[in-house]
Amino acid sequence: MSPLATALASCDMLLIDGLHAFDFTCDESGLSIECMDGRQLRRWSFTPEQIAAAVGEHDQWQLADEQGEHRLVCMSAFRAPDEDDEEVDPNLPAER
């Protein structure tokens, strides 16, 4: 598995060319990304070879396709706690 593929497996949001993308898939067939840019649906598709050739470190990557170079940042989205979680009153003694 390439370093970028490893980073993609552990993230749940991408920043591609300055646009936030939550809808992406990375598998053995490559990487596909979709996001809305205003009212326009934007799509990117990268082959496994393009993913393997990506240059970067940590969470920031440069990769290329037929349209040119793209900047990709792997991010983790913040998630709200489940509604089923009980709220704990800090003034109450802890249960044992």
Work out the angle at residue 42's Cα, subtended by the Cα atoms of residues 9 and 57, and round it to the nearest 5 degrees.
35
User: pLDDT, tens digit, for every residue of 67-95?
Assistant: 999 999 999 866 666 655 556 666 666 65
Give the other-Cβ count within 10 Å of 44's Cβ: 20
Ordered by where they begin, the domains of the chain are 3-75 (2.30.29.190)
Could you give the percent of the chain with pLDDT greater than 70?
79
Question: Which single residue is written with the structure tokens 């060319």?
Answer: 17
pLDDT of residue 43: 95
From CA 77, how far away is CA 85, in angstroms rounded?
A: 19
Residue 45 vs residues 2, 6, 7, 50, 84: alpha-carbon distances, Å: 17, 17, 17, 10, 38
pTM above 0.85, yes or no: no
pLDDT of residue 79: 61
DSSP string, 1-49: --HHHHHHHT-SEEEETTEEE-EEEEETTEEEEEEEETTEEEEEEE-HH
